[in-house]
A = this chain, B = another copy of it.
Amino acid sequence: MRYLKVLPLDEVLALLSHEFTCIPSTETVLLEAASGRITARPIFGTYSVPEIHLAAMDGIAIVSADTNSASEQHPVTLGRAARVNTGNVVPPGYDAVIMIEDVWEADGNYTIRKSAGPWQHVRPAGEDLAESEMVMPSRHLIRPHETGALATYGITQIEGITVRIGLIPTGSELVAPGTRPAPGQVVESNTMMAKAMLESVGARCTRYPFVEDKPEKIRDAIIKACKDNDIVIVSAGSSAGTKDYTADVIAGLGEVLVHGIATKPGKPAIIGKVDKKPVFGLPGYPLSALTVIREIILPFLRNYGLFVPEPQVVRAGITSAIPKEIGSDEFVLCTLGKVGKRWTVSPQSKGAGVQMSAVRANAYLRVPRESEGFNTGDTVDARLMVPVQEAENALLITGSHDPVIDYLADLIRSQGVTLLSTHVGSMGGILTLKKDECHAAPTHLLAEDGSYNSTYLRKYLPGVEVDLLCVAGRQQGIVSRDGIGFSDLPGRLFINRQKGSGTRMLLDYELKRVGIDPSAIPGYEREVSTHIAVALAVKSGEADTGMCVYSAAKALGLPFVPVAQERYELAFRKKYAEDPRLAALIAAIRSPGFKKILINLGGYDTKETGYIRQGNF
């Protein structure tokens, strides 16, 4: 079955609004759990608060008329007075309270030097709430502090609205989280994600057991879920593969309204109607599913009265182009940060299976349907996936990747700094630094003269004050399954790093030095972008060998033969040295804790760790 009709996103949302009468479910919620819930009906006070006049201060209750003649010159000792603390009942007949600070007491008698107005420092009955008054209307989002007011007014439970959503995971290849998937198996994660996303706005989700790829079983599951829920979501099987039955099953039970949505990712989605209820078919790729939930299902829940916040938006300059064909709304995960006074946003990998993109991203872009994409340097709307304060504390590290960068990210979190690293290789980092679009660039670029990094800074950032902070001396070497060395490379299936990466430049430098022709190395043209990806290709048998740092080989338990020690440094513009985010990173690199990490990981020389080469290279 091919896609029935591919509808633009805005038409999908309009269709949902007119096809479905969205009546939420209600449930009784104890006050202790009422914060964050939305009222199903108005709440009224059943008694006044206070019910009787109370003292608003610690002092004495008096009859105001008794005090009329009191003054500094003519103190009055009161015949009638009663000691009261804040909140005590003002005894009948008394109509004011005088603060204890303004009272002189002797032998049980009270003297005052100032007259008191009627009702002064008295909380009159009903001051807070009068019997029968409306406390809050229906469809009101209860804020945490309001639970206190509700308790005071005698409300111990509320009727809250919710939307009951049934989540059906389908696919014979699924295994439960916690089970290591065998080849061809997949951990079922999309209903876990959907539940957390949908419940964060007040829906109530039920995850049903896995359903095999058999139309009759999918059919039975949908029938059952439709009985017990307001909305049903079938995870996967929505595409056009040989085992994608969801659309046919929905058509058999009711009606398929939409099959295929003009978004990227998220295209293979289904919207159907069974028993007047919406049944969604969610694409299998996690980031496609994420997009459909965020852009379609969550906004749709507003029709039921749930509060779904719009993402906060900041205007940011984009660091690389996003080309695109007209016709689909495209959503791109990004890293966003503030370099100097400017927000800067970098698109991430587009692979819809790369869930780490959504872990690393703190923002996303919507490239509109009618647009041909964004050009480098365009100012665009970045939609935040974190609170804006957290984005303001993002430290953008762009360049050569090393596992220790992740450990540094961990070390500086306690100072509230979020390190976001983008892996573009050393040369990519230097160029990003030149454009002033990152805070620092990790780099290990070997020049012809055997020096590291400074030659390239001189060439690409002439006249700019840049400091170089040594992270570590680092061993690069040959990783393999059988312990081969550099001279054994010819004829072995190789996995390479991308052009512009320091490791690639070191490889080419060494090949030239010892006189090996790259064409003698099969696989030389196959590139990946991290050390660990090289080691993994070797471990999985995709390649026989590659070049990477020791820690990556060690992490996967592979033999490693050293080739060279290089200088892995962090380059940054001097003007940012005092930026608290960068200062936290510098302090972390210089900390004893970090040296310990380097030693534990192995393959690092810590002699010059933390040393700064200053200046204008």
Contact = CB atoms under 8 A, between A and B. Distances in A.
Interface of A: 31-32, 34-36, 42, 47-53, 56, 58, 83, 85-89, 100, 118-119, 123-141, 143-152, 154-156, 173, 177-178, 180-181, 183-184, 186-190, 192-197, 199-200, 239-243, 284-286, 289-290, 293-294, 302, 305, 307, 309-310, 351, 353-356, 358-359, 385-387, 389-390, 403, 406-407, 409-410, 413-414, 416, 419, 526, 528, 530, 532-533, 535-537, 540, 542, 555-556
A536 B48 contact: yes
Nearest to A531: B130
Given A131-B556, A290-B148, A87 B196 contact: no
A540 B309 CA distance: 44
Contacts of A243: 85
Contacts of A56: 351, 353
Nearest to A293: B145
Contact of A193 (B145, B187, B302): B145
Given A356-B128, A536-B48, A192 B305 contact: no
Contact of A239 (B86, B190, B241, B556): B86
Given A151-B192, A414-B139, A128 B85 contact: no
B410 A83 contact: no
A173 B50 CA distance: 14
B537 A125 contact: yes
A413 B41 CA distance: 10
B154 A180 contact: yes
Contacts of A414: 138-139, 305
B89 A183 contact: yes
A334 B32 CA distance: 26
B526 A119 contact: yes
Contacts of A156: 177-178
A555 B406 CA distance: 65
Nearest to A200: B144
Question: Which 10 pairs of residues, A with B, have the shortest CB-CB distance?
Answer: A148-B193, A132-B555, A139-B413, A151-B189, A137-B410, A149-B355, A151-B177, A144-B196, A134-B406, A85-B241
Contacts of A239: 58, 86
A190 B148 contact: yes
A584 to B, nearest CB: 13
Contact of A389 (B128, B186, B187, B309): B309
A168 to B, nearest CB: 16
B242 A83 contact: yes
B536 A31 contact: no
28 contacts: A35-B196, A35-B199, A42-B410, A49-B355, A51-B540, A86-B239, A86-B241, A87-B186, A118-B526, A124-B528, A126-B532, A126-B533, A126-B537, A127-B351, A127-B353, A128-B354, A130-B530, A130-B533, A134-B409, A135-B359, A139-B413, A144-B196, A145-B293, A151-B177, A151-B188, A152-B286, A154-B180, A309-B387
A145 B387 CA distance: 15
A35 B50 CA distance: 40
A105 to B, nearest CB: 12
A173 B358 CA distance: 52
A32 B149 contact: no
A259 B135 CA distance: 34
A30 to B, nearest CB: 10
A152 B189 CA distance: 6
Contacts of A53: 540, 542
A180 B124 contact: no
A124 B85 CA distance: 74
A148 B286 contact: yes
Nearest to A362: B143
Given A88-B184, A131-B556, A144-B193, A58 B151 contact: no
Given A124-B542, A190-B148, A305-B414, A131 B195 contact: no
A193 B31 CA distance: 10
A413 B133 contact: no
A608 to B, nearest CB: 25
Contacts of A555: 131-132
A196 B155 CA distance: 15
A147 B192 contact: yes
Contact of A143 (B128, B351, B385): B385
Given A31-B177, A147-B193, 4 more contacts: A126-B540, A137-B413, A148-B290, A151-B193
B556 A32 contact: no
Contacts of A407: 42, 134
Contacts of A118: 526
Contact of A536 (B119, B125, B141, B149): B125
A539 to B, nearest CB: 8
A413 B161 CA distance: 13
Contacts of A137: 406, 409-410, 413, 419
Nearest to A191: B148
Contacts of A533: 124, 126, 130
A410 B144 contact: no
A194 to B, nearest CB: 8
A116 B285 CA distance: 23
Contact of A145 (B129, B187, B358): B358
